[in-house]
Amino acid sequence: MRDSFLPFSPPYIDEEDRRALDEVLRSGWISTGPKTSMFEQEFLKATSGESALALNSCTAGLHLALRVLEIGPGDEVITTPMTFCASANVIEHVGATTCFVDVDPATLLIDPRKIEARITEKTKAIIPVHYAGQLCDMGRINKIASDNGLHVIEDGAHLMPADLKGNKNLVAFSFYANKNITTGEGGMLVGPEDLIKRARVLSLHGMNKDAWKRYDKSGSWKYDVVIPGYKYNMTDLQAAMGLTQLKKLDHFYEHRKEAFIYFTEALRGVEGVEPIKTDFEKSSFHLFVVRIKKEILGLNRDEFVESMKKKNIGVSVHYQSLHTSSYYSQKYGSQKENLSHAGQAGEEVVSLPISPSYSKKDYDDIIFSLRSVVSLR
């Protein structure tokens, strides 16, 4: 057994990131400024997106997306329950109604066939989540949206890399500590220029000029408040790290892909530990998700997580299906029948840890521990 605990998916941070942060600290400007602009531009180059707004989180991006599309009370928004709570919480924040649609049991991505059945005259938008780094069937989802006059807001928190060429939706990315690239906390909203322009005003108090321009020598202290906005801006400290993380993206991607290949091979023939279906051509390999089959192993997911911890391996759960949480089940009822695939997956899924900071030995330890945990039964 390992003698030290392997934490779940820590960020990979190197000298390049530290130097970039130090440079900003010494520059005299640590809030939103030139680095933030540069990060937006580089992010667009990396994704072929149209327009970008750097924010302090992906949650902020999703919230602003709903606001600029003017979605609010009386409106319904469709999303998946197999996601982080933020994807649905933002729907509640704007006073709209959250409509959960069940997932495909093989991929755990929102099932497009079931989206259509959930559309009413109140439906305004769909928030598909690219769960675990797999791409939702956007051809189908965009078609359903255009046929029914709906907006699409993509939760891309698990993406990077991403290809946004020709994409007309708003897409929100996360740079939280364990995401594919990180700025500690941070996010990016990408989409059509007119919508991003409006989101930019809302992201900084609804002021018509940002601080960077006001404090510049050529700037004026004068500003107007055109709408009561939020405090969602990214800082140059975060952006500097975003820039250096972006430079390492190819390396991160290769590392994650290799980890997926390694886990897939190593688990072949391990009964009762079933990886979800992954398209290796399209994934950004964020989470390696397996289902723990209690009927085969004699141990459930929660016991598996505890046993792995005892072996000094930190695994995680993405996610307990959101419709089973207190808030959503009290507000919308149990929805057990309609969301049966998500409900079952929510009790079985475990994410094995992946990080570009892990060594080959770390991966061997994960598999060795997993094998001993499941064969003890």
Residues of this chain that interact with ligand PLP (CB under 6 A) are 57-59, 83-84, 86-87, 129, 155, 157-158, 174, 176, 187
Q: Which residues contact 31 (CB under 8 A, 6 or more apart)?
A: 211, 212, 233, 235, 236
Nearer to ligand PLP, 304 or 319 (CB): 319
Residue 324 CB, nearest approach to ligand PLP (Å):
17
Closest to ligand PLP by CB, 125 vs 266, is 125
* Cβ nearer to ligand PLP, comparing 151 with 179: 179
Q: State the nearest-atom distance from the C-beta of 272 to ligand PLP, in Å.
A: 26
CB-nearer residue toward ligand PLP: 174 or 245: 174
Residue 102 Cα to chain centre, angstroms: 19
What gap in Å lies between CA 117 and CA 172, rounded to an integer? Answer: 26
310 is catalytic: no
The answer to whether the beta carbons of residues 190 and 196 sit under 8 Å apart is: yes
Q: What are phi and psi of 345, to 5 degrees?
A: -60, -40
| Shortest distance (Å) from residue 228 CB to ligand PLP | 21
- Output 90 or 115, the one with its CB closest to ligand PLP: 90
With beta carbons less than 8 A apart as the criterion, state whether 132 and 84 touch.
no
Q: Which of 179, 248, 309, 360 is catalytic?
A: 179
CB 174 within 8 A of CB 250: no
State the minimum distance, in angstroms, from the CB of residue 59 to ligand PLP.
Answer: 3
DSSP character string of 304-332: HHHHHHHTTB--B-S---GGGSHHHHHHH
Please state the closest distance from residue 57 (CB atom) to ligand PLP, in A.
3
Closest to ligand PLP by CB, 58 vs 64, is 58
Give the residues across from 207 on adjacent strands. 225
Contact 279, 266 (CB under 8 A): no
Rounded Cα distance between 149 and 315, Å, is 41
Contacts of 116 (CB under 8 A, 6+ apart): 144
Q: What is the DSSP pairing of strand 288-292 with strand 187-191?
A: unpaired
Find the shortest distance in angstroms from Cβ 88 to ligand PLP. 9
- Residues with a catalytic annotation lie at 179
